[in-house]
Structure 1
Amino acid sequence: MTDSEFDLLDELYFVQPFGYLLESLGWSEEKLLETLQSACEKGYIKCLYSPDEEVFERFDMFKLGRNLYFLATKKGLMEHNAL
């Protein structure tokens, strides 16, 4: 887990929209999207269309990420808390 993924997971104990993460972390949109993509690929986070509708199909984080919500997965929380 990278330092950026660790910091991201700090914010994802509850479902959060992209805008909240952008403001809370103070990163550029590109850094946030790259970190979300990486964390998603590793199974650390879930991506959601709405707070209760998970995205199951493959998608382009750089096209859709700004409109999604995110939540840490059990795997992500276990990795995060092990460090």
Structure 2
Amino acid sequence: MSDLEFDLLDELYFVQGFGYLQESLGWEDVVLMETLTSLYKKAMIKCLSGPDEERFDQVDIFKEGKELYFLATKKGLMAHNTL
């Protein structure tokens, strides 16, 4: 897990929107989207359309990311807590 992935997972213990993550981390859009995509592909985060609406289809974070919410999965939390 990269340092960026670790720092992003720190923010995803609770459901957070893209805008919150960008403001909290202060990263460029592309860096945030790349890191979200990396964690998503590793099944360490899940995407939501709204705070309580999990997405079960394949999500293109670069296309839809600014409108989504994110949450660490059990796998992501376990990986984050064992480092």
Structure-1 residue corresponding to 2:81:
81
Structure-2 residue corresponding to 1:53:
53
Residue 58 of structure 1 deviates from its aligned partner by 1.0
CA distance in 2, matches of 1:38, 1:55: 17
Q: Which amino acid aligns with 1:31?
A: V
Report the TM-score, using the length of structure 2 for normalisation. Answer: 0.97
Question: Which ranges of structure 2 fall in alignment gaps of 5 or more residues?
Answer: none
Q: Contact 2:9/2:76 (CA < 8 Å) preserved in 1? A: yes
Q: Which moved more, 1:62-71 or 1:51-60?
A: 51-60
Q: Which amino acid aligns with 1:12?
A: L
CA distance in 1, matches of 2:59, 2:80: 25
Q: Which amino acid aligns with 1:22?
A: Q
Structure-1 residue corresponding to 2:62:
62
CA distance in 2, matches of 1:52, 1:59: 16
CA distance in 2, matches of 1:23, 1:52: 22
State the identity %.
67
Structure-2 residue corresponding to 1:25:
25
Structure-1 residue corresponding to 2:14:
14
CA distance in 2, matches of 1:18, 1:79: 22
